[in-house]
Amino acid sequence: MLNTVTYDGPGEVPLLIAHGLFGSARNWGMIAKRLSATRPVVTVDMRNHGESDWYDSHSYPDMAADLAEVITQPTDVIGHSMGGKAAMVLALQRPELVNRLIVADIAPVSYTHSQMAPIAAMRGVDLDSVENRSDAKAQLGDLEPGVADFLLQSLDMKNKRWRLNLDVLAAEMDKIIGFPEVSGQFEGRTLFLSGGNSDYVQRDARPRIKQLFPAAQFAKIPGAGHWLHAEKPREFEAAVSAFLA
């Protein structure tokens, strides 16, 4: 069972939030707390992340099955990036569990970019020598703006370890940037919410999206990139609330 954080709220339909690669449930704490004003919200640590168990596999069918174990009734689901792919597979394989689906800045396609650079950077940190997060950040080296601070949220300073199963994430990277062969459709309401400055959801992916999610709607948040919920949290919350209302 995945580690979960629950935010109590009114209403009968809960909202489940699945984070992206290298993320965690607590990355979504502020957004989850605000959204819980109108509904119960549950955030999860995906497998091989945060406080959840480590496994040798990091496939999307396995991650979707993990999410299914958390759900006890039909639930609205948000998934960002890796979590968005897992949420899509969940909706396609277990549509009775998903009420409405929000896919944040990802499409049901394979990508060519790898995320091995952050893994190499984290492996390169001499955790025994770091006294604080600033020391670790200096050792992470030259990463894209904001990436180092994001990765450091998964550093357990007390136990001098990463809360990420780096070996398995590296070994399974092809699966993470890919998308499994799936059949069927999810006919429920679905929103593909993208960052206006992001190139993760291209127009040529729309036929595949519509094939799998015939009720799909599309929206963009101007000025946001791939990390749209972190860059434009208020706009993200407004878009989610409007869709769920």
Distance of CA 47 to the CA centre of its chain: 11
Task: State yes or no: is 226 an active-site residue.
Answer: yes
Which residues lie closer than 8 Å to 142 by C-beta, 6 or more apart? none
Distances (CA, A) of 133 to 45, 51, 112, 140: 21, 19, 31, 10
Assess contact for 36 and 62: CB atoms under 8 A.
Answer: no
Q: What Cα–Cα distance (Å) separates residue 145 from each residue in 148, 151, 154?
A: 7, 12, 17
Catalytic: 19? no
Residue 157 tokens read as 């300073």
For the record, the structure tokens of 125 come out as 């940190």
Angle between the N-to-C axes of helices 82-93 and 60-70, in degrees from 0 to 180, rounded to the nearest 10: 70
Catalytic residue among 81, 154, 194, 198: 81
Examine the residue annotation and report whether 62 is marked as an active-site residue of this protein.
no
Contacts of 194 (CB under 8 A, 6+ apart): 104, 105, 200, 201, 218, 219, 220, 221, 228
List active site positions: 81, 167, 226
